[in-house]
Amino acid sequence: GQQLNQSPQSMFIQEGEDVSMNCTSSSIFNTWLWYKQDPGEGPVLLIALYKAGELTSNGRLTAQFGITRKDSFLNISASIPSDVGIYFCAGTLTGNQFYFGTGTSLTVIP
């Protein structure tokens, strides 16, 4: 199945720094989602985006639906230790099947 490319693959940052990651697809989507997976747990939905150009926030997290509909971006401001985990993007054109990104592993150094 189709897989989305996430960048960077891993990040090591100091507590308090801002984080940016992105996700790209070879085809267009109508919905983009961002998930976070805590160590040893299942991924949990953070943000959903339904319209090209849309910018949506959830606390310190902000995600954007790219205007080309082939990419999405996630920013985390003022990182804290509990932000540690793997972040996955996911996209769908019809809602019948979601394709997941390769993941960005985030480590926050206190």
Partner 1 sequence: SQTIHQWPATLVQPVGSPLSLECTVEGTSNPNLYWYRQAAGRGLQLLFYSVGIGQISSEVPQNLSASRPQDRQFILSSKKLLLSDSGFYLCAWSVLGTAYGYTFGSGTRLTVV
Residue numbers of the site for partner 1 (CB under 8 A)? 1, 3, 30-31, 33, 35, 40-45, 48, 50, 86, 88, 90, 92, 94-98, 100-103, 105
Nearer to partner 1, 41 or 82 (CB): 41
> In angstroms, what is the minimal distance from the CB of 77 to partner 1?
23
Rounded CA gap, 27 and 65, in Å?
A: 14
29 — phi, psi (to 5°)? -125, 155
> In angstroms, what is the minimal distance from the CB of 75 to partner 1?
20
Nearer to partner 1, 18 or 50 (CB): 50
> In angstroms, what is the minimal distance from the CB of 33 to partner 1?
5
Rounded CA gap, 99 and 1, in Å?
A: 8
Nearer to partner 1, 40 or 59 (CB): 40
Rounded CA gap, 67 and 19, in Å?
A: 21
> In angstroms, what is the minimal distance from the CB of 45 to partner 1?
6
Closest CA to 70 of 45, 87, 53, 56: 53
Report the amino acid identity of residue 68: T
